[in-house]
Structure 1
């Protein structure tokens, strides 16, 4: 029997991106210029980083609402560190460490205190947003080291440095998810946390890891924003960044229920969100319409996600009635015994 080859779900959102780009190109010649394409990519890099971090968290069935304020916190930490005399690269590392630390704290509170991710990360949102205001008295801080501009304004072989950084992080994170036991564990925890625990998966470490990755990605967003402006703003990231990061991951096929999705899908979702936002600006649509459009995109993504989940459960039920084994993620998280770690099967990267 010939196996049917499943069409990657990323292809669907890729087609949508092309259609949206064609529509905006027909509506405005400015949209299809090289300068606008370059601006679209640059503006989309922060969304892309936040979407990657959000995807890791969503794959485990959680959510991170602290990403926007973490952008402001890490950007301000970098600016203050350089003002105190640290070289730009050391300040950047310090900011990334702070971003990851915020994520680790979120993950630890969620796992060890059994608190809802929504509550923990919402509280972290408020704390991380207040710290830059307290440290600076709500004032901006000029970047002292001109070399720091490399992160947001530099280029490599003509490619903007933020785009290069997104590509590097995307490759590393995709390898982590698809080719390592840690990636299998992340999908397994999202598929069935209790079964994963009985299978010997260290759920606490996995939870803290995914939130640390989200914090690290928010830190990269903070560095890019601060580097492009060469000023640390305590209110950076307080706009639609969080809204867009969730939208990008969801429309990119990452399930809100956990266990399903891929990093390339989340990145394509970020490209779609950036394209829609840029296109609406180019054609002169008022800015207050953009959240409405993005909200409808999120709603459509959630509806598709819910329908896909119900279809998967129906298919699994029919397989069990026929006596067949479960497929996809459910097979990956079904242990042979409580003491046997999960190694069989591969995660569902849809």
Structure 2
């Protein structure tokens, strides 16, 4: 009899409910309608960052530039409107800038074989410096009142940032689960060399995920700037980077690549937003928040490492029970097996 598979997202859903219940007992104001709306609005930026970070992590990379891209793209939109562009054109320019940063990151990682940590850490530096240089470290007021619709508007009573996150999550879910591109992303994260030998364009996949991360960070920059109607050169310099990594990791996206889902990343973002908002409501000092988020990241990585080891152990047991392989050579690791099967599926789809 085949056992039913328990969704991996069930665990984090239970954790979110427990955390919300505990914070609600400590402070009844947490469950008020106004605070829950604030939690959702603040969580949309984290959600966008987590979605972009999840795509990069699925390929075994990491993006440390997300916080700085928030400032860069927000200031780009504000400066574009001050130069006379309509709000929608300024938003498109900002998204293009985010995509450009991602394209540079992905190209350097793939073509020059540089470590993603170093490449994106360098991007973190220049993306944070450019807005300061362009404005002399001064803020820029948004001149087009229509721009407020992105961060303050609503559609059928639903805040526009929440609508944008929902649309992005739906598109990303379809891409990951129902397209060859999604199969390629998982395959590259499972084992890049096996994916390459299977004919998967790993270079395109690598560049694509970093571009998506840059676009998601740009959406975070647009929402932040739109809500404040001011472009701040220091926006995104707080805990946004930690939030994006923590949300993706606790949502089940593996730091080793090849494992994770869009819905898991979204749930991770909700958990991080809940913890952050709850600490503010309860009255915990802000300097405690990085410590808590750091512990959450450490716990997520520990669980991910343990899960990976258990998967490898279970795979080895199955192979031993099945007997010697038919082919002369055997796969050396679980990721290689996963990537090989994904690559074969991808090639059949083509």
| Bin of the TM-score, shorter chain as denominator length | over 0.9
Deviation at 1:166, TM superposition (A): 0.3
Given the superposition, is the C-alpha separation of residues 45 and 18 from structure 1 closer, same or farther in structure 2, using an over 3 Å criterion? Answer: same
Deviation at 1:153, TM superposition (A): 0.3
Deviation at 1:129, TM superposition (A): 0.4
Deviation at 1:343, TM superposition (A): 4.2
**What's the counterpart of residue 86 of structure 1?**
85
Query: Does 1:333 find its partner at 2:339?
Result: yes
Does the Cα contact within 8 Å between 1:69 and 1:128 map onto a contact in 2?
A: yes
Query: Does 1:61 find its partner at 2:60?
Result: yes
Given the superposition, is the C-alpha separation of residues 15 and 135 from structure 1 closer, same or farther in structure 2, using an over 3 Å criterion? Answer: same
CA distance in 2, matches of 1:277, 1:237: 15
Point out 4+ residue stretches in structure 1 off by more than 3 angstroms.
Answer: 324-332, 340-345
**What's the counterpart of residue 38 of structure 2?**
39
**What's the counterpart of residue 184 of structure 1?**
183
Secondary structure of the 2:254 match is: coil
**What's the counterpart of residue 300 of structure 1?**
299
Deviation at 1:315, TM superposition (A): 1.0
Does the Cα contact within 8 Å between 1:72 and 1:235 map onto a contact in 2?
A: yes
**What's the counterpart of residue 211 of structure 1?**
210
Does the Cα contact within 8 Å between 1:199 and 1:341 map onto a contact in 2?
A: no
Alignment of 1:108-187 (within 5 A): 108-187=107-186
Does the Cα contact within 8 Å between 1:47 and 1:244 map onto a contact in 2?
A: yes
Secondary structure of the 2:219 match is: helix
Does the Cα contact within 8 Å between 1:196 and 1:203 map onto a contact in 2?
A: yes
**What's the counterpart of residue 284 of structure 1?**
283
Secondary structure of the 1:334 match is: helix
Secondary structure of the 2:340 match is: coil
**What's the counterpart of residue 267 of structure 2?**
268
Deviation at 1:146, TM superposition (A): 0.2
**What's the counterpart of residue 104 of structure 1?**
103
Compute the RMSD of aligned alpha carbons: 1.8
Query: Does 1:52 find its partner at 2:51?
Result: yes
Deviation at 1:335, TM superposition (A): 6.0
Does the Cα contact within 8 Å between 1:332 and 1:342 map onto a contact in 2?
A: no
CA distance in 1, matches of 2:52, 2:299: 21
Gap regions ≥5 residues in structure 1: 346-350
Does the Cα contact within 8 Å between 2:311 and 2:334 map onto a contact in 1?
A: no
CA distance in 1, matches of 2:347, 2:177: 13
Deviation at 1:322, TM superposition (A): 2.1
TM-score by length of 2: 0.94
Gap regions ≥5 residues in structure 2: 326-330
**What's the counterpart of residue 199 of structure 1?**
198
Deviation at 1:320, TM superposition (A): 1.6
Deviation at 1:189, TM superposition (A): 0.3
